[in-house]
A = this chain, B = another copy of it.
Amino acid sequence: MITPRTPSGTFELLPPEQIAFQRMLDAIRAGYERFGFLPVETPVFERSEVLLTKTGGETERQVYFVQSTGALEKARDAAGEGDAEGEEAAYPELALRFDLTVPLARYVAEHEHQLTFPFRRYQMQRVYRGERPQRGRFREFYQCDVDIIGKDELSVRHDAECPAIIHAIFTDLAIGAFTIQVNNRKLLRGFYEDLGIVDGEQQAAVLREVDKLDKRGGDHLRTTLTGEGFGLAADVVEQILSFVQVRSTGHDDALARLAAVEAASRGSQALAEGVAELREVLTLVRALGVPEQDYRLNFSIARGLDYYTGTVYETVLDDHPEIGSICSGGRYDNLAGQYTRSRLPGVGISIGLSRLFWQLREAGILQASTARSTVQVLVPQVDAALLDDQLALASHLRHGGINTEAVLDGGKLGKQLRYADRAGIRFVAILGPQEVGEGTVTIKDLHRQDQFTVPRAEVVAALRVELAQPEV
């Protein structure tokens, strides 16, 4: 007997939670489609040479390689014979995707001449990382990505769509108040240039320290940045500290903050561009109807150091800042430089849904009102002699678009009702000898502990009315 268990670091749900998860996936998909994005799915594995072309050592360490039995045995034979020094260093041919960005780059480059640009695609699939498993960190998890890819160029106006999408989706998901935080990498670069921190590597090192501000506090940052290695002047560090603490309150305040940064600039071109981009983005975010309390400037946001080149986004739940960003992304200059000579700038965001779902569950903020079953009506077996009528009723309900389970194993009615209750099925449509004689159906509402009888011809309409009402 083999012990049945899932591999460590994976995330498997029981049906009631799977239903809640599926609803979130559906809401995100509907949101992405609402904004005019097209679906893409890619294979779970890519050729290793495609997947590992751009990545540093850390990503490579986390990749899962895939080998058929034949390839595995061949590799072992080669290694066993010790004749394959060179080959030993080579990777297996296939590896599981570790994000949806590399597959998107490969997809756009491969199908470039069959796509229309700007190419607006969404992709919601699982990705794989061979991390050490720990609470809330998974080796397999869903990412829900949306990107707009231009050919040669892509107007910064598209950068305003991301906050509008985030706003629409997280409003739909109804997991609490949230704030979309916006910044711009050019503005960041320009700010540090103005302070005389011009070298890219030095900037990156400073940004890494600034990123630890929340954890370690201002004094630690002062000591580090004025100390050996950085050697910044104390007043420069104070300027950094006050800069990264900027959070706008409202739309006009955001524009005023931008004006202030611009006025204080010592002429950095990058800063001027960053300010201009943010100004345009914020203006269009407002035009797209995002309420001003739901977005703000946050000059501390950098989002990694190599990838993003313009606007960057993070989203936080106002009442659960400890969860961190629930939706992030930004603008990049060139999606697929390693696969094509075409220049493909883009902007996009990503929701790590498995992790978010896990965190929402941990924080107790998954919607309790969500139905625990996709089954809307149970048709119990009241009398074995009426089986044909029971099945005809079930078919009638299904034709009416109602998700219906028919009990076929029999048992006492009370037991069947308890089953419905335990399984989270709210309505029971009863067809006993009396109902068959009268041409009626009795509907029991297990939530309201209520029941009523309707003519058979009206049962679909009656149930639709009930189902359209909010859960109790």
Contact = CB atoms under 8 A, between A and B. Distances in A.
Contacts of A11: 43
Contacts of A19: 38-39
A214 interface: no
Interface in A369-420: 373-375, 378, 387-388, 391-392, 394-395, 398-399, 401-406, 408-410, 419
Interface stretch (A194-202, A336-344, A428-436): A336-344
Contacts of A33: 374-375, 403
A41 interface: yes
Contacts of A107: 4, 12
A64 B126 CA distance: 17
A112 B140 CA distance: 23
Interface stretch (A157-165, A267-275, A296-304, A442-450): A157-165
Nearest to A381: B157
A14, A46, A388, A398 — most chain B CB neighbours (10 Å) = A398
A378 B120 CA distance: 13
A126 B126 CA distance: 11
Interface stretch (A175-183, A224-232, A239-247, A284-292): A284-292
Contacts of A40: 15, 18
Interface stretch (A67-75, A184-192, A205-213, A312-320): A67-75
Given A40-B18, A340-B4, A398 B168 contact: yes
Contact of A387 (B94, B154, B284, B403): B284
Interface in A444-466: none
Nearest to A289: B395
A367 to B, nearest CB: 17
Contact of A373 (B38, B61, B105): B38
A384 B193 CA distance: 34
A13 interface: yes
A4 B109 contact: yes
B120 A405 contact: yes
Interface in A28-68: 33-47, 49-50, 53, 60-68
A155 interface: yes
B45 A7 contact: yes
A118 interface: yes
B60 A88 contact: no
Contacts of A96: 44, 66
A36 B375 contact: yes
A397 to B, nearest CB: 9
B53 A64 contact: no
Nearest to A396: B289
Contacts of A375: 33, 36, 38
Interface of A: 1-7, 10-15, 18-19, 22, 33-47, 49-50, 53, 60-70, 72, 75-76, 79-80, 82, 88, 91-94, 96, 105-107, 109-111, 114-116, 118, 120-121, 126, 128, 130, 140, 150, 153-155, 157-158, 161, 164, 168, 284, 287-289, 336, 338-341, 373-375, 378, 387-388, 391-392, 394-395, 398-399, 401-406, 408-410, 419, 422-423
